Structure 1
Amino acid sequence: MITRLSAADYPGAVRALGEVLADCTNGGASVGFLAPFDPAEAAAWWKGLAGDVESGALLIWAAWSGARLVGTVQIRRSSMPNAPHRGELAKLLVHRDARGRGLGRTLLAEAERGARDAGITVLVLDTETGSPAQRLYSSAGWTETGTIPDYAQDPSGALRSTTFFYKKALVTER
């Protein structure tokens, strides 16, 4: 089951979000952090986003297997006055023991739908070049815009190229 985390629900999910982020980072996913990454440190990072969740600047979905949070994705709304129609898809994460069941694709589709419902018509993202995530975005209809060499360190500290994508969506009729 996938749910959007409300501002009221978010604090109760922070620890579990930290566990998923730490698992993905420690498993080699290049999502902004270096390994080894402690789940408590990861939870502290998530806790720091509470104000953005409360204000609506950050939309977060959680995937559940029973009572256990096993995946997440977020849409970061643009804060620029000329870009209320734009958002960034970020932190599409699936715990290693929940992979291989299409959960990443389902989370991606839910975030795209949620962005449309929020009036966001252009989404952007970046991902490590050659990663499974790059293949997911390409197969889900995202348009590749280019690659920057040595853009970010992977969890082991090695510099890796990053590929950027965008996807346009129509606003849902109300």
Structure 2
Amino acid sequence: MNSIEIRALSASAETLAMLADLLVETVAAGGAVSFMHPLATEAAGAFWERSLDAAARGERVVLGAWDGKVLIGTVTLLLDFPPNQPHRAEIAKLMTSVEHRGRGVGTRLMRGAERLAVEKRRTLLVLDTATEEGASGLYEKLGFTLAGEIPDYALKPHGGLTGTLIYWKRIGATSR
């Protein structure tokens, strides 16, 4: 895993195609990332195109985990909040390719997102994850605190309702 590189993504046809494939794979495997199965590659590509356009405007940063020339994971750091919330950021769309799960890619992506948030002078990170089959264990291992659960929050990709767990973490100067 030492060859894994974490870096901010920008729009290129090749990157958009890899992001679309990763999103389709994640949803097909049951990942609760706001989409339903089956997810068309075109719809996944359109989502990532809008997301990377927002990144170009400074509203978010999309990080990718690269194993050579292959994108194996991604996470998004949302930065565009109202004037009374300039101190916080939100983690969204953490995904690792099925083939690379359990190898620390998610941890490296999350640490990269946290470092970036600190650089952008954010002092609070928030995120949510599905109650069933979500990444709560990873987030707790990384120091996030469970704020609570909302039952029946969203549909699972293959149908049926699941709750969501809301987490937070102080970072930067306030984390001491």
What is the TM-score of this pair, normalised by structure 1? 0.92
Q: 1:95 aligns with which of 88, 94, 97?
A: 97
- Match in the other structure for 2:8: 4
Q: 2:169 aligns with which of 156, 167, 170?
A: 167
Report SS of the residue matched to 2:138.
helix
Q: 1:153 aligns with which of 137, 155, 162?
A: 155
Q: Which runs of 5+ in 2 are unaligned?
A: none
Between 130-139 and 74-83, the greater mean CA deviation after superposition: 130-139
Distance of aligned partners of 1:21 and 1:152 in 2 relative to their CA distance in 1, 3 Å threshold: same
Q: Is the 8 A contact 1:15 1:40 kept in 2?
A: no
The one-letter code sitting in structure 1 at the alignment partner of 2:11 is: Y
Cα deviation 1:77-108 (Å, max 9, x = unaligned): 13201111111100010010111211011111
Q: Is the 8 A contact 1:145 1:163 kept in 2?
A: yes
Distance of aligned partners of 1:132 and 1:163 in 2 relative to their CA distance in 1, 3 Å threshold: closer
Cα deviation 1:130-164 (Å, max 9, x = unaligned): 42511110111000000010001110121001000
**What is the root-mean-square deviation of aligned Cα atoms in Å?**
1.5
Q: Which runs of 4+ in 1 moved over 2 A?
A: 9-12
The one-letter code sitting in structure 2 at the alignment partner of 1:115 is: A
Count of matched residue pairs: 169
Cα deviation 1:32-79 (Å, max 9, x = unaligned): 000011222211111122331111111111011111111000110132
Q: How does 1:11-160 map to 2 (within 5 A)?
A: 11-12=12-13, 13-160=15-162
Identity percentage over the alignment? 37
What is the TM-score of this pair, normalised by structure 2? 0.91
Displacement of 1:171 after TM fit?
4.6
